[in-house]
Amino acid sequence: MKLMNVIGKQMQYPRGIFGKILFAWMTRMTIEHARWTVDLMEIQPDDDIIEIGFGNGANIKLLLQRARNGSVTGVEISETAIEMASKKNAKAISEGRVKLYEAAGNALPFEAGVYDKACTVATAYVIEDPGAVFKEMYRVLKPHGRAAVTFPVRENFIRFKPVGTEGFYLHELADLKKAFRDAGFVNCRTEDNDQVRFGAHCMLGEKPTIS
C-alpha cells in the first residue's frame, strides 16, 4: 500500500529517477491519445501552440510535425519533465521553436490572446480543479483559437490500480464538459475513441471573436 501511495503521488507530481521511469511508462500508455488529439486539432503550419502538462515531451514532437513553421510552448509543474523534454526536443529548442516553462496550468505566465491552439492530454484526472486550467487555456488563446482536452474514459480508467491512491480526481465526463463550456468555449463537441488504451474522450472548443 505504501508503494501504491508513492505511485499515486508521483502520478500527480513526477520527480527524480522514479518520475523519469513513470513518465516513460505513461507516454507508452498515452502516446496514441496524443496522436489522436493532434489529428483532431486541425493544426496549421504557422500555428503557435501551447501544451499544458507535456510530460517527457513526446507530444511536443508530434505537434511540431504539424506546425512546421510555428512553435510549441510547453508548461509543466515537474522539473523532471522539463529536463526530459529539453533533451528530447533539444534541436527545436535551440532553433527557438520550442520553449518550456515550469508553471501551473491554472496560472499560465503569458499574456492573453497569444496562441492559435491549446491542448492537454492525460492530465484531467490529476488536476483537482480542471475548470481553472480550462479558463487559462481560454485566456491565452487568440480569438478563433481552438482547444483540445483529452483524457481516458473514466469507467475504464477507474479499474487501473493506482487510481485508488492519493493524487487522483476522477471527474465525471459531464462535469468536465460543463467546466469546459463555462470557461467560455463555443462550438464545443466531444469526440470518442475506443481504439486506444482505456478508451478516450477529447473535448474540443473554440474561443469566439471578442467584440
pLDDT mean over 47-73: 95
**What is the Cα–Cα distance from 126 to 170, expressed in whole angstroms?**
8
Please report, in angstroms and rounded to a whole number, the separation of the first and last CA atoms in the chain: 54
Question: pLDDT at residue 5 above 60?
Answer: no
Question: pLDDT at residue 4 above 60?
Answer: no
pLDDT digits (tens, 9 = 90+) for 92-122: 999 999 999 999 999 999 999 999 999 999 9
* Strands of the 186-193 sheet, one edge to the other: 98-102, 71-76, 48-52, 115-121, 141-152, 200-206, 186-193
What's the 3-state SS for 42-107?
A: CCCCCCEEEEECCCCCHHHHHHHHHCCCCEEEEEECCHHHHHHHHHHCHHHHHCCCEEEEECCCCC
How big is the chain by its Cα radius of gyration, in Å? Answer: 16
- SS3 (DSSP) at 151: strand
pLDDT mean over 157-178: 84
State if pTM tops 0.75. Answer: yes
Pairing relationship of beta strands 186-193 and 141-152 according to DSSP bridges: unpaired
Cβ atoms of residues 83 and 55 within 8 Å: no
**What is the Cα–Cα distance from 26 to 37, expressed in whole angstroms?**
16
**What is the Cα–Cα distance from 211 to 202, expressed in whole angstroms?**
28
Q: 2-206: which CATH number, 3.40.50.12280, 3.40.50.620, 3.80.10.10, 3.40.50.150?
A: 3.40.50.150
- SS3 (DSSP) at 177: helix
Cβ atoms of residues 86 and 57 within 8 Å: yes
Mean pLDDT of the chain: 89
